[in-house]
A and B are shown apart, each in its own frame.
Chain A
Amino acid sequence: MKNSDFRIQVKAFYAFLLVCISLLVLLSIVILLYNSNPDIFYSKKEIDTKDYIEVSKDDNYDKIENGIHIRTGFKEGEGLMETVNNCTNCHSAQLVIQNRMNKERWEETIHWMQETQNLWDLGDNEAIIINYLVTNYPPVKKGRRTILSTVEWYNLEDE
């Protein structure tokens, strides 16, 4: 009796192993197929294409033109995407671009935003972002009063 019990257990185990291996083989085939053509498991008929948009290949969300990141207006440079991803969620990039600060004051500003404005911990990105900002938007000396610049000249007609 003991011997036949053992035989049954071995048979059961063998069957279980077979099932496992077949499943594995099937899964690998599926993965291989999906990798070669991700659309293979979708029936084209189920997709209502009328709400989809065609986005041409050059219509890049993070397109850069003439050194400017079009979506935000930030200058192209090392740390651009870290800055875009962390500094334009609550306010526009314009608030950053308008300002000119040194490393110390950017640090202060970031810490103020973390303490009072719900900005998250930037981790390693903090140094990258500050470096991007001080490199691309450094303070400019203005003195006590600048000359009048960007004047658009026009003929003033008699009133």
Chain B
Amino acid sequence: MSRRKFIKKATLGTLAGLIGADIVFGASMPKNYFPIALQEPDLFQLFGKSPEMTVLNTKPWNIEAKAHLLDDKITPNKAMFLRNNGLLPEKIDLDKWTLTIDGESVKEKKTYSLSELKSKFKQYTYQLTLECGGNGRSEFDPPAKGNQWTIGAVSCANWTGVRLKDVLEDAGIKEDAVYIGYHAIDSHLSRDPNKEPISRGAPMEKVVQDETLLAFKMNNEAIPLAHGYPLRLIAGGWPASVSGKWINRISIRNKVHDGTKMTGTAYRVPCKPVAPGEKVKDEDMCIIESMPVKSLITFPKTGAIIKENKKLHIRGHAWAGELEVAQMEYSIDFGATWLECVIDKPVNRLAWQHFSASLSFPQKGYYEIWARATDSQGVKQPMVLPGWNPKGYLNNACHRIAVKVI
């Protein structure tokens, strides 16, 4: 009891030090809420996440969903993966928040307040797929360094904001512009104010797309703090690291942006295929752009036991980066034969598509249901791991769930 008293009396700062993590909503932490340091963090209290989510890392916070948690057509916050490179911002002053557009290729450096952004430019809402470049990393052999994501680092929420191109054009884009780079207010893990945890970007072709947004809202509510409140770049279909959070500056560059995590092995893969474990020179690495075709079975949850002669209805989502999913198939015999699923059209470009199928099984036994999507260019998901790369990106091997028929 006296230990409890001590913890309650300690300042939030001390507490944060104690559990080695930031108490995100510390200020609004209920009086009787006692964060159990060093044990399972209360994900709902901290981030409004389902307690079924998997915590990969508490500092920085990295949390992923399980396939069955992503069953909703529009991903709610509670099932949305959380990927951080640095420490979450501790204080946000909405009135003082500004976005500055600068860089070699801006005609005139300009600064906007949040209310200016909201009133000056037309707002749009799109449902956009965001998948971590490293989703599926845990399967690579030899193992790839970093958070060991399995399948749950993907989401497709509604994002509302202004078009990035409208804002950049207002400031003026010089003809030599090739890339943008974002800057944000999160802090480096070492708390060195001169280091940015991440500062990535996108080429102008992606920047000028209608769906590339500076977003204020997620699912029609203010973006949760951990997901980039109050301003987040959204570039659907590309590694989610392009969709920078807590944005306060965008640089229009006359060269490929060279911020943190734009170089070396970060979010880059060998330009030409390499053998597993092979050393790759820096100059032979290429920046990941569109994510590959992929799908998830979100119902039923893996491990379902069903009665013989019963039909099983499966459903899930499929997406294909910049492209659309053209075909969706499933197999119950380890990829020997494939049958078609019904697949919906996306609600807008870069939104995931929903599929469903009604399955029957020939006899009792153990089965795996494998799902395989094909993109609009005829490229299918592989059944085994795709090409190895040093940081374990782009694993789009087909999703599998286990089923028993009794």
A binding-site residues for B, Cβ under 8 Å: 51-55, 59, 70-71, 88, 90-92, 94-95, 98-101, 105, 109, 117-118, 139-146, 148, 151-156, 158-159
Contact = CB atoms under 8 A, between A and B. Distances in A.
A98 B57 contact: yes
Nearest to B39: A70
Contact of B60 (A91, A141, A151): A91
Contacts of A59: 3
A153 B2 contact: no
Taking chain B's interface residues, is the majority helix, strand, or loop, or is none over half, making it mixed?
loop
Interface of B: 2-3, 5-6, 9, 20-21, 38, 55-60, 139-143, 145-148, 188-190, 192, 195, 300-306, 310, 312-313, 368, 383-385, 397, 400-402, 404
Given A117-B190, A140-B143, 17 more contacts: A88-B20, A91-B57, A92-B21, A92-B58, A98-B57, A100-B143, A105-B145, A109-B145, A142-B140, A143-B141, A144-B141, A144-B385, A145-B384, A151-B303, A152-B303, A156-B304, A159-B313
Contacts of A155: 304-305
Contacts of B2: 53-54
Contacts, number: 97
A145 B9 contact: no
Contacts of A105: 145
Could you say which of B145, B312, B384 has the most chain A C-beta atoms within 10 Å of its C-beta? B145
A91 B189 contact: yes
Contacts of A152: 303
Given A71-B38, A117-B190, A156-B306, A101 B385 contact: no
Nearest to A90: B189
Contacts of A118: 188, 190, 192, 195
B59 A91 contact: yes
Which 10 A-B pairs have CB atoms at the shortest separation, nearest pair first? A118-B190, A53-B6, A156-B304, A90-B189, A142-B141, A92-B59, A144-B384, A98-B148, A100-B143, A151-B303
Contacts of A159: 313
Given A151-B402, A155-B305, A92 B20 contact: yes
B21 A51 contact: no
B242 to A, nearest CB: 21
Contacts of B190: 90, 117-118
Contacts of B404: 153
